[in-house]
Amino acid sequence: MGKKPRIRPIALCLLRQGKRILVHEGYDSVKQEAFARPLGGGIDFGETSRDAVIREIKEELGADITNVNLLGIVESIYRYQGEPGHELVFVYDGQFVDNSLYDRESLDVVEGKRSFKAVWRSLEELRSGPAKLVPTQLWHLL
């Protein structure tokens, strides 16, 4: 029998540069849709969501963040690549300690053995596409 699906607790950080936020862009080949999501990741057992988002940004970008404040919690039930997902998303606001990171068009992200780019996107770009902001409930916190 298959593994029972679980609710995954995650923490994401809205790193802002004016009216732009830092996101990684992906593509769901089943839906044939592009998406954009702020950086962050899973919360480890015994770790606070705040500590998780600080750790995730450090691991993914090699960068420290400060002024980390909880904006809210959203529940995201979705399908990705045809598979169901369910996340409780702790959404934080934060700022880079190194201000030079705001001047870059993109930042290199390392997540385990995967590497990709994070890019600054305006709220208008995220509303009109082609890569729409996910989870969509983030709009209530922006």
**Partners of 128 in the β-ladder:** none
Cα dihedral angle (50, 77, 14, 56), rounded to 10 degrees?
50
Q: What is the pTM of this model?
A: 0.92
| Rounded Cα gap, residues 85 and 76, in angstroms | 8
Average pLDDT across the chain, whole number: 93
Specify the CATH number for 8-140; select among 3.40.50.970, 3.40.50.12780, 3.90.79.10, 3.40.50.300. Answer: 3.90.79.10
Query: Tell me: the pLDDT tens digits for 40-64?
Result: 999 999 999 999 999 999 999 999 9
- Residue linked to tokens 């998303």: 89
HSE toward the beta carbon, residue 34, CA cutoff 13 A: 12
Strands (E), the chain: 8-17, 20-28, 33-42, 65-80, 83-96, 106-111, 114-122, 131-133
Query: Tell me: the pLDDT tens digits for 77-118?
Result: 999 999 999 999 999 999 999 999 999 999 999 888 888 899
Burial of 91-106, coded b for 16+ CB within 10 Å and e otherwise, reads bbbbbbeeeebbeeee
Total Cβ atoms within 10 A of residue 5 = 10
